[in-house]
């Protein structure tokens, strides 16, 4: 099955494309796009991988579902296109970024510039029905994105994984903590950010670690 995805990622995930679950997943997703409103737009399903090539990947920020409101999702976790209102969780991410690094809150919620620096903005599920959070859980996306995380953990060294919230922490339980830096905190959602996301210092800790490994720190602006 031919999947349009960045070459390095295609090499790492080629085995997944041939597995029965992936064929069933693609048939399910195709049917959903034909019969319902699905986000993100079809050509942006694999945007996280295409925006952050495997060889350039320096870190992962793991989300759960794509946004399920009109015009919000574009294939990058926590990110929205230019001109779309910044969602509450991302507002809190920006607040922590300012407190941690002194970065003023951007007017846009588009995090494409992070992806271009090697930040894989990966959701566990890559598609969702409009206004139905979690509607594509259990269809195969979790297995596929686990394979992507496993490829990074096994094939690369000195990456940073940001696991915000219990869902991300469970999903990232198998990441090799000896080879990589794994930072965990409560989710940046308004419901939980005050329980430890604020003050976590993950952005400065990421850059300190990358610099200590002779890697280029992330410009979070």
Q: Report the alpha-carbon distance of residue 46 to residue 3 in Å, rounded.
A: 9
Residue of 3, 36, 27 whose CA lies nearest to 17 = 3
Which token pair is 10?
């295609």
65 part of the active site: yes
Cite the beta strand spans of the chain per DSSP E: 38-39, 59-63, 119-123, 128-129, 160-164, 181-185
Q: Which tokens belong to 69?
A: 């409101």
Task: Tell me how crowded residue 219 is: count the other CB atoms within 10 A of its CB.
Answer: 11
Distance CA 161, CA 183 (A): 6
In angstroms, rounded to a whole number, what is the distance separating the alpha carbons of residues 55 and 70?
32
Task: Find tokens 């230019």 and name the residue.
Answer: 82
- Partners of 120 in the beta sheet? 60
Distance CA 118, CA 161 (A): 12
Active site positions, annotated: 65
């Amino acid at each position: 099955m031919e999947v349009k995805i960045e070459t390095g990622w295609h090499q790492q995930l080629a085995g997944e494309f041939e597995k029965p679950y992936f064929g069933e997943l693609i048939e399910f997703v195709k049917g959903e796009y034909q019969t319902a409103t699905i986000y993100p737009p079809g050509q942006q399903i694999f945007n996280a991988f295409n925006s952050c090539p495997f060889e350039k990947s320096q870190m992962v920020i793991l989300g759960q579902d794509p946004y399920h409101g009109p015009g919000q999702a574009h294939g990058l976790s926590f990110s929205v296109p230019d001109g779309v209102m910044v969602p509450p969780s991302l507002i809190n991410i920006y607040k922590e970024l300012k407190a941690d690094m002194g970065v003023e809150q951007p007017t846009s919620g588009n995090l494409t510039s992070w992806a271009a620096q090697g930040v894989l903005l990966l959701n566990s599920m890559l598609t969702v029905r409009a206004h139905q959070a979690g509607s594509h859980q259990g269809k195969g996306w979790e297995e596929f994105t686990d394979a992507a995380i496993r490829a990074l953990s096994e094939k690369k060294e000195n990456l940073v994984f940001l696991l915000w919230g219990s869902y991300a922490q469970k999903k990232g339980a198998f990441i090799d903590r000896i080879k990589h830096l794994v930072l965990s905190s409560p989710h940046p959602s308004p419901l939980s950010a005050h329980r430890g996301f604020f003050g976590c210092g993950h952005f400065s800790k990421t850059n300190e670690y990358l610099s200590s490994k002779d890697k280029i720190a992330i410009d979070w602006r």
